[in-house]
Amino acid sequence: MGAVIKVDNISKLYRLGMIGNRTIVEDINRLIAKIRGKENPYLKVGETNQRNTKGISDYVWALKDINFEVEEGQRFGIIGKNGAGKSTLLKILSRVAGPTKGSVKLKGRVASLLEVGTGFHPELTGRDNVFLNGAILGMTQEEIKGKFDSIVDFSGVERYVDTPVKRYSSGMYVRLAFAVAAHLEPEILIVDEVLAVGDAEFQKNA
């Protein structure tokens, strides 16, 4: 067995109060620094993320110099306060966001469940969303058809499978989304706090 996840010195810098974290002026300054062989100047001004204190910089390090490895077959949990960067780290591992510095190496098929209803269309039925979400995760139509009954049975929403998911509770959303992701049979399954909205029986089975 070997490492299926290798996180090497990753950091993530955000700029407060902006939808994006870059401006044209900043991009030019970064480019000039790169041409001159110097470090990105904005990597030096960021502050550690502290929600209860007022900072003096518009730049905040959501993550700073994170290193770890996860071996094949290992379960790995990330624990910390709200705002500690847990979700940011999971987004980077899921390739939803990229690190400002450092690198992440993943070995094998990856499935992610980061938010309730990720990849679901509220107007579509549970049945339609199984096929939609399965395709997004990389499953073929034949693969989804072959696993459909098992997915629905595992999710426990068989009675409502032909009902638009906008009428589902948060727990039903998660049950179905998790069932699809689990049947992808990934080597790496990344899960945020979405399972917290499921009932005790489902959390135990999941």
Average pLDDT rounded to a whole number, residues 10-27: 67
Higher pLDDT, 56 or 121: 121
CA 79 to CA 109: how far, in whole Å? 24
pLDDT at 167: 93
pLDDT of residue 199: 57
The mean pLDDT of 79-96, rounded to a whole number, is: 88
Largest CA distance in the chain: 64
Residue 104: per-residue pLDDT = 94
What residue ranges of the chain are covered by domains with CATH 3.40.50.300? 3-107, 113-205
Crossing angle between the packed helical segments 170-183 and 141-155, to the nearest 10 degrees = 140
Q: 13-17, 39-43, 154-158: which range is least confident on average?
A: 39-43
Domain boundaries 3-107, CATH class:
alpha beta
Homologous superfamily, domain 113-205: P-loop containing nucleotide triphosphate hydrolases (3.40.50.300)
Say whether pLDDT at 133 is over 60.
yes
72 contacts: CB under 8 Å, gap ≥ 6: 1, 2, 3, 4, 187
Indicate the pLDDT class of residue 70, thresholds 50, 70 and 90: very high
What is the helix, strand, coil percentage profile of the chain, to 5? 40, 20, 40
Per-residue pLDDT for 158 more than 70?
yes
Q: Which amino acid is at 56?
A: I
Mean pLDDT of 32-44: 69
CA distance 154 to 58: 46
Decide if pLDDT at 206 tops 80: no
CA 198 to chain CA mean position, Å = 18
> Beta strand pairing status for 3-15 and 101-106?
antiparallel
The residue type at 20: G
Report pLDDT for 55.
46
CA distance 12 to 16: 13
Instruction: Please state the rounded mean pLDDT for residues 86-102.
Output: 90
| CB distance 176 to 129 below 8 Å | yes
Residue 27 binned pLDDT confidence (cut-offs 50, 70, 90): low
- Classify residue 19 by burial, with Cβ atoms within 10 Å: 0-12, 13-18, 19+: exposed
